[in-house]
Structure 1
Amino acid sequence: MRQAASIVCIGGANVDRKARLLTPFRLGTSHPVVTTQTAGGVARNVAENLGRFGHTVSLVSTVGDDRDGQWLIDVTSRYVNTSFIMRTSKANTGTYTAVLDECGEMVLALADMVIYDTVGKEWMKQRWPELGPISAVVLDTNFPKAVIRLVIEQCRQEDIPLCVVTVSAPKVKRLPSDLSGVTWLITNEAEAKAFVGSDGHTDDIMEAILHAGTKNVVITSGANGVAYAAKQGETGTLAAPKVDVVDATGAGDAFAAGFLHGVLGGRAIEDACRFGMSNAVLTLQTAETVHPALNEHLLQAAYARYFCEGRTK
């Protein structure tokens, strides 16, 4: 029986620990908080979201030979093929510790991601043929430059749709200057500016990113919505729905997954952005990094609520 093609997500799988402040933040003193632990990592989060939508998804990542690593695999394997996750004794499982204010917005985040430096280009090259038929690739920027470059080159050579999701302003610089082979680049304002090395207008930044070789770019701006541009000339902005935020962690990853669900389902970039924002809104309204009841029905209901009601037909 022929193996079904899968979306392959490559990058981070972390333990997210969140401490939410119960009083306003002040430097130099302790604060009462409520702490939680969830599964995280950009590639892992996107993979779980897509798996919950019914896609066949595989995750390529690395975790430590420790309890955190086993816990991550157990939690993720409910929705994702985790057989390509490498266990290593060279480093602890990656952790992301966020301090959130009373409104759920990030005050400070601490990332222990040394483990991703243990992933080499040769390891990825050996794994690639084992991944089976691939329908699309999602790549975050947690792995070293050589690995990121290899994945982009493979996708370009094999004509595989590739979505790159940036992780942070420092890590966006791991991307090559030539983005040929990238179908969609999803990033936020700070990361986009860090990539182009400019603090200009969003339209100019998107134009520079398209000039670097990607076919489409989407820049997210939280409550200020998203801007998008395609090489074919389609550009625009969308306002974000107004919702009460419980916790902002994971909203960007949720956007990427919702967007991909849209474009892989044949939606134009503008409508795919609406799916991305619908999924981000669902995540913003839960304390979990991935909405615990997420499925395609919930996504479609959010899309209908925030983007169809009251819209002119």
Structure 2
Amino acid sequence: MTQTPDKNSPLPDRETADILCIGSVLWDVIGRSASVMRHGSDVPGRITRLPGGVAMNIANTLVRFGLTPALLSAVGRDAEGNDLVAACAARGMITSTIYRSDDLPTDRYMAVEGANGLIAAIADAHSLEAAGAKILGPLSDGRLATADAPYTGPVALDGNLTLELLSEIAHDALLAQADLRVAPASPGKAERLGPFLQTARGTLYVNLEEAGLLCQSHFETSRAAAEGLIARGAARVLVTDGGGDATEGRPDGFLTQTPPQVLVTRVTGAGDTFMAAHIAAETGGADPEAALARALRAAAVYVSGETAL
């Protein structure tokens, strides 16, 4: 099946998008309780359904920072998909670049959170994985770029794509001139970012656990994790550790900062908020220290339950 844009949404000019967000766009179904939860807990709380997915969460925060993101993802033509695309467009995102499939259902993510943090989560991104390289169509068909005039702006890329497609992106000329910012989506998918270590491409945004998985090691601090990733070939990394220190690492040096301490009321999406805020800060011309401080502040405000600005 060929990609067809949403007939109700005009095609964007290549200059319209400030940044591309490539990866999962799905429905987040989140159950939250104020109670501490253990295995088998059955407690009162609230269940919400909101547009989610790593690419969408990053895009949503970028919009709040004044940027216009274009979404490259896969969304079904079912009722849930139509509602999801409409919700993303209403939030200020370019949705005509989304691959809409007649055969694949819209993906979903389900999580349960208690007062003691994330209890469990399941990400069903099978349609995104099945769509594969079809989601990259706008990068070669003229809507965002062509083979002769490749895209050169910032790109937020998430690890919900298959290892095969991530490897293709890491090696292909399609995004060779882009400013790649890459996140693994979850610890279980961290090792999919291996190709970006091998090619020394992009900026990797990972937490302490994900850094350990990528390095097949265990780290006690974000600084040690950043040093480990750079030693394994990463061009640049941002390593977070929840409420602990965060470190930016490059081959020529490291920068470590401590985030503001806040009362945690939610955790799903915190890493995406950090990444988006950091990208927005650097896009706006902030230096490394200011960009990292702004990202940590935005993530702290987010987990406290406020708006991440």
TM-score of the aligned structures, taking structure 2 as reference length:
0.84
Distance 1:154 1:255, change over 3 A: same
Contact 2:29 2:109 in 1 (8 A): yes
Residue 98 of structure 1 corresponds to which residue in structure 2? 111
Q: 1:136 aligns with which of 134, 138, 154?
A: 154
Deviations 1:86-115 (A, max 9, x none): 122443322111111135x21111222211
* 1:161 paired to 2:202: no
Bigger mean CA deviation after superposition, 196-205 or 109-118: 196-205
Query: 1:273 & 1:209 partners in 2: Cα distance?
Result: 18
Q: 1:205 aligns with which of 203, 206, 225?
A: 225
Residue 19 of structure 1 corresponds to which residue in structure 2? 31
Deviation at 1:125, TM superposition (A): 5.4
Residue 237 of structure 2 corresponds to which residue in structure 1? 217
Q: 1:173 aligns with which of 191, 206, 220?
A: 191
Mind listing any 5+ residue stretches in structure 1 that lack a counterpart?
300-313
Deviation at 1:22, TM superposition (A): 4.5
Contact 1:90 1:115 in 2 (8 A): no
Distance 1:60 1:126, change over 3 A: closer
Contact 1:166 1:172 in 2 (8 A): yes
Deviation at 1:191, TM superposition (A): 0.7
TM-score of the aligned structures, taking structure 1 as reference length:
0.83
Deviation at 1:44, TM superposition (A): 0.9
Contact 2:24 2:56 in 1 (8 A): yes
Contact 1:163 1:182 in 2 (8 A): no
Deviation at 1:4, TM superposition (A): 4.1
Q: 2:163 aligns with which of 145, 152, 168?
A: 145
Q: 1:255 aligns with which of 267, 270, 274?
A: 274
Bigger mean CA deviation after superposition, 202-211 or 221-230: 202-211
Residue correspondences, number:
287
Contact 2:194 2:214 in 1 (8 A): no
Residue 46 of structure 1 corresponds to which residue in structure 2? 58
Deviation at 1:63, TM superposition (A): 1.5
Deviation at 1:116, TM superposition (A): 1.9
Deviation at 1:221, TM superposition (A): 0.8
- Give percent identity, aligned residues only: 29
Specify the SS of the correspondent of 2:42. Answer: coil
Query: 2:200 & 2:278 partners in 1: Cα distance?
Result: 19
Residue 245 of structure 1 corresponds to which residue in structure 2? 264
